[in-house]
Amino acid sequence: MTIETWQAQIKQAAARGGKLAIRGSGSKAFCSPPASPTAVLLDIRAHAGVVEYEPNELVIVVRTGTALAEVERVMTAAGQMLAFEAPHFGPGATIGGALASGLSGPRRPYAGALRDFVLGCKVVDGKGEHLAFGGKVMKNVAGFDVARLLAGSHGTFGVLTEVAFKCLPLPQSQQTRVFELGAEDAVVAMNRWYAAANPITASVWVGGRLYVRLAGAEPAVRLAATNLGGEALADDARWWRDWREQGHPFFAASDASSPLIRVSCKATAAFGDLGNGAEKQAIDWGGAQRWLRASSVALPAIREWARANGGFAQVFRGAAHEGERVSPLPAALVGVQQKLKQSFDPYGVFPNL
């Protein structure tokens, strides 16, 4: 019923030049494209519930308005997880919001990104058509991989209504080792230890300390802990949850006056003092994600550094305008993107990316 209502609403907006914006709990509004001021909100929370979950199939199919916490609860009870460790950024975060923003947490370098676990996805597009792409099996190459294209599309193509994710078993055992280390050495250590086939599932350097999470089969974790050394971290599950949710003091009070800049770069890029002091930087994702507490006037220089190191930089929290949040794209790619947008949302009902 909800879907038919949305379809009608979208068709009406399309016919009359109206604007719509899709919203779950609003937990990720700060890193999403802004809605038109005249936009009417579509609340996806009206469309909630697990459609199908058979742990033995390693697949969960959920309506996108379902709370992320609820999905995680159901999966934990069955001994499984969404391995990309989606950040919630708020108590009411929905699975649809996670999907549309495409964000992944600390396990990303080792298990894969959100889009890597998408098996299928349904969308009501800007013409009001309800389309289904992908499916609910592990491998599927029939037609273009539109389901993964929809992941991270930030509600610009339409309302994502249902998603199928690949699930993985929870690791048998887990522990985190902490090392007192400088930033330069931490980058090297993160990369070396991974390349040496240690069962690492997260690594972060912050405040002069390197945190390495080991998880997997009990004997492997125990052995790696002995080999790597360091100190054990008490209540590490909680530490990693805080880190993922940006509840760690490093992230405190990020807003326009003190923005949080995200740099995505080659994991091996040597530490660059981009924030004017090592305490202004944290190194995440085995080196491939760097967080900076720096003023946005430094953004052009940071972007240049990121480009030279194989990636991008953006103001993640506290962007003063869209130009700080998104990166300029090359012309040929802009052309393709506009045509993609045009095919899903020809009447411009939804925001632009």
**Near other proteins in 72-91, by CB under 8 A:** 79
175 near other proteins, judged by CB under 8 A? no
191 near other proteins, judged by CB under 8 A? yes
The total of other beta-carbon atoms located within 10 Å of residue 135's CB is: 16
Minimum Å gap between C-beta 96 and other proteins is: 17
Minimum Å gap between C-beta 106 and other proteins is: 12
144: part of which helix (H) or strand (E)? none
Tokens of 18: 């109206």
Indicate the burial class of 270 (C-beta count within 10 angstroms; 0-12, 13-18, 19 or more).
exposed
Nearer to other proteins, 38 or 227 (CB): 227
Minimum Å gap between C-beta 113 and other proteins is: 7
Size of the site for other proteins (CB under 8 A): 83
* The only residue of 60, 99, 260, 265 in contact with other proteins, by rule CB under 8 A: 265
Nearer to other proteins, 43 or 145 (CB): 145
Q: Do 91 and 110 touch, CB atoms closer than 8 A?
A: no
Q: Do 264 and 288 touch, CB atoms closer than 8 A?
A: yes
Q: Do 14 and 126 touch, CB atoms closer than 8 A?
A: yes
36 near other proteins, judged by CB under 8 A? no
29 near other proteins, judged by CB under 8 A? no
349 near other proteins, judged by CB under 8 A? no
55 near other proteins, judged by CB under 8 A? yes
Q: Which of residues 208-227 bind other proteins (CB under 8 A)?
A: 216-220, 222-224
* The only residue of 109, 155, 259, 351 in contact with other proteins, by rule CB under 8 A: 109
Cα dihedral angle (181, 182, 187, 193), rounded to 10 degrees?
A: -20
Q: Which of residues 298-317 bind other proteins (CB under 8 A)?
A: 309-312, 314
* The only residue of 18, 26, 90, 152 in contact with other proteins, by rule CB under 8 A: 152
* The only residue of 267, 283, 292, 349 in contact with other proteins, by rule CB under 8 A: 267
201: part of which helix (H) or strand (E)? strand 200-206
**C-alpha 101 chain-centroid distance:** 6
* The only residue of 144, 231, 253, 256 in contact with other proteins, by rule CB under 8 A: 144
Alpha helices in the chain (DSSP H): 2-16, 68-77, 95-101, 108-111, 146-150, 183-195, 218-228, 236-244, 299-308, 322-325, 331-344
197 near other proteins, judged by CB under 8 A? yes
d(CA 16, CA 303): 40
Of 2-10, 40-48, 271-279, 324-332, which segment contacts other proteins by CB under 8 A?
324-332
266 near other proteins, judged by CB under 8 A? yes
92 near other proteins, judged by CB under 8 A? no
Q: Which of 35, 34, 40 is nearest to 14 (CA)?
A: 40
